[in-house]
C-alpha cells in the first residue's frame, strides 16, 4: 500500500472497476439509456426533427426543394465531486484495514455519483444541498406530459396514460424509472378476485421490465438527494424514450486523490490540525434531456 503515501492514489483494479460498474447499475438513467463517448467541454448534439419526403420525378421534370433542416443543442459539462473524511490513523493501519476503508469509499462514491446523474438530469438538484441549481434550464421535469395519481387511480391505467402521451407526441417509450413506492404499488396491484396483476414483478424490488419496457427502480425518481431522505417531490414514475431522449456521457474522470493538508472541502477544519485525511473523486458528466419525449406520473398532491 505504498501508493497511499502520495497525493494521487492508484486504487486496485478491482476497486476502480467496481466504481464504474456500480455507477452504471445504480442510476436509472444509466440503466435505461446508453452512455455516449464525449470530449471535454460543451458537446453539440445534432437533431433532425423534420421528416424528409421522397419525390417522384418524371422524365425531364425538375426536382423540387425539401426545406427540412437539421438543428442542434448543447450538452454542457457538469462536474460531480465526492469527498470522504477519515482519521489519519488510516496511514499507519495495516493493509486489510486500508482496503476495508477503500471498499467503503468505493460503495459510497459509486452510489453518490449514480444518484447525482439522476438528480441533475431529472430535476437539476444539487445532491449535497437538495436544492435546485436555478442556472440549469435543461432538465426532464420541465415536461408538460403529466399524469396525476388520484384516490381512484389504477396504477396500470396511469402508466398507459403516460405512455400514451409520449406516443401521442410521436415518440416511442423505451423505458420507465420507478420510485420504490410506485414499484411496490404496481407489484401488489390485484384483480377483484385477489390475483396479482403482475406476479412477475415480485415485491417490486429490482424490477427490470414492465409492460414490454425496460424498468429501473430508485428513490431519485421522487427527487430524494439521499436514500432515506424525507424530501419528496411526489413524482412516482417517469416514462419515455430513454434511448434517444436523454443524451449523456462521462467526459472525464480525475485521479482518485488522498489529501492530508488544508481544508479542501471548506468545512473550517484543517485536515492536519484535526488528524484527518480526505479522499476525493471527481467526474465530469454531460447531458441533454429532450423533455417532450417523457411523461411524468405524479401524486395529485404535488
Residue 213's pLDDT band, with cuts at 50, 70 and 90, is: very high
Q: What is the pTM of this model?
A: 0.80
| Beta strands at 235-240 and 175-178: parallel, antiparallel or unpaired | antiparallel
Residues in contact with 225: Cβ distance below 8 Å, sequence separation at least 6, in sequence order: 115, 119, 125, 126, 127, 128, 129, 130, 231
The pLDDT, as a whole number, for residue 82 is 85
CATH topology of domain 2-48+72-299: hypothetical protein PF0899 fold (3.30.2320)
Q: Is the pLDDT of residue 282 over 60?
A: yes
Predicted confidence (pLDDT) at residue 2 exceeds the cutoff of 50: no
Which pLDDT belongs to residue 73? 80
The yes-or-no verdict on residue 98 having pLDDT over 90 is no
Residue with cell 481544508: 263
Confidence of residue 68 (pLDDT cuts 50, 70, 90): low
pLDDT at 23: 44
Count CB atoms within 10 A of the CB of residue 71: 10
As a whole number, the mean pLDDT across the chain is: 83
Angstrom distances, CA of residue 109 to CA of 12, 179, 198: 15, 22, 34
Give the C-alpha separation, 238 to 236, whole Å: 7
Confidence category of residue 65, pLDDT binned at 50, 70, 90: confident
Of 20, 265, 216, which is closest to residue 118 (Cα–Cα)? 216
Does the pLDDT value for residue 206 go beyond 70? yes
Q: Are 166 and 241 in contact (CB under 8 A)?
A: yes
Q: For residue 48, what pLDDT is reported? A: 59
Rounded to whole angstroms, the Cα distance separating 73 from 143 reads 17
- Is 50 exceeded by the pLDDT of residue 161? yes
Residue 298 scores a pLDDT above 90: yes
Q: Is the pLDDT of residue 61 over 50?
A: yes
Instruction: Determine how many CB atoms are found less than 10 A away from the CB of residue 276.
Output: 18
Confidence of residue 26 (pLDDT cuts 50, 70, 90): low
Q: With contact defined as beta carbons under 8 Å apart, do 48 and 70 qualify?
A: yes
pLDDT at 118 over 90: yes
User: For position 247, what pLDDT does the model report?
Assistant: 92
Give the pLDDT band of residue 29 (cuts 50, 70, 90).
very high
Q: What is the pLDDT of residues 216-263, one digit of tens each?
A: 999 999 998 777 677 889 999 999 999 999 999 888 777 678 788 887
pLDDT higher than 50, residue 110 = yes
Amino acid at each position: 500500500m505504498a501508493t497511499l503515501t502520495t497525493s494521487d492514489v492508484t486504487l486496485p483494479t478491482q476497486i476502480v472497476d467496481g466504481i464504474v460498474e456500480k455507477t452504471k447499475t445504480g442510476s436509472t438513467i444509466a440503466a435505461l439509456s446508453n452512455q455516449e463517448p464525449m470530449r471535454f467541454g460543451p458537446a453539440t448534439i445534432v437533431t433532425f426533427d423534420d421528416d424528409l419526403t421522397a419525390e417522384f420525378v418524371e422524365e425531364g421534370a425538375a426536382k423540387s426543394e425539401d426545406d427540412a433542416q437539421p438543428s442542434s443543442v448543447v450538452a454542457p459539462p457538469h462536474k460531480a465531486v465526492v469527498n470522504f473524511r477519515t482519521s489519519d490513523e488510516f496511514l499507519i493501519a495495516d493493509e486489510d484495514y486500508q482496503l476495508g476503508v477503500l471498499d467503503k469509499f468505493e460503495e459510497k462514491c459509486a452510489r453518490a455519483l449514480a444518484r447525482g446523474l439522476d438528480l441533475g438530469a431529472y430535476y437539476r438538484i444539487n445532491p449535497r444541498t437538495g436544492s435546485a441549481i436555478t442556472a440549469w434550464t435543461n432538465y426532464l421535469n420541465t415536461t408538460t406530459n403529466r399524469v396525476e395519481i388520484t384516490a381512484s387511480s389504477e396504477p396500470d391505467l396511469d402508466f398507459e396514460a403516460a405512455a400514451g402521451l409520449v406516443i401521442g407526441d410521436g415518440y416511442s417509450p423505451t423505458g420507465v424509472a420507478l420510485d420504490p413506492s410506485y414499484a411496490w404499488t404496481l407489484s401488489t396491484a390485484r384483480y377483484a378476485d385477489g390475483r396479482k396483476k403482475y406476479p412477475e414483478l415480485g415485491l417490486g424490488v429490482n424490477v427490470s421490465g414492465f409492460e414490454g419496457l425496460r424498468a429501473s427502480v430508485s428513490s431519485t425518481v421522487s427527487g430524494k438527494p439521499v436514500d432515506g431522505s424525507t424530501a419528496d417531490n411526489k413524482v412516482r414514475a417517469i416514462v419515455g424514450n430513454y434511448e434517444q431522449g436523454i443524451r449523456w456521457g462521462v467526459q472525464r474522470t480525475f485521479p482518485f486523490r488522498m489529501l492530508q493538508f488544508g481544508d479542501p472541502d471548506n468545512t473550517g477544519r484543517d485536515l492536519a490540525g484535526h488528524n484527518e485525511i480526505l479522499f476525493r473523486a471527481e467526474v465530469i458528466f454531460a447531458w441533454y434531456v429532450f423533455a417532450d419525449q417523457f411523461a411524468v406520473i405524479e401524486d395529485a398532491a404535488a
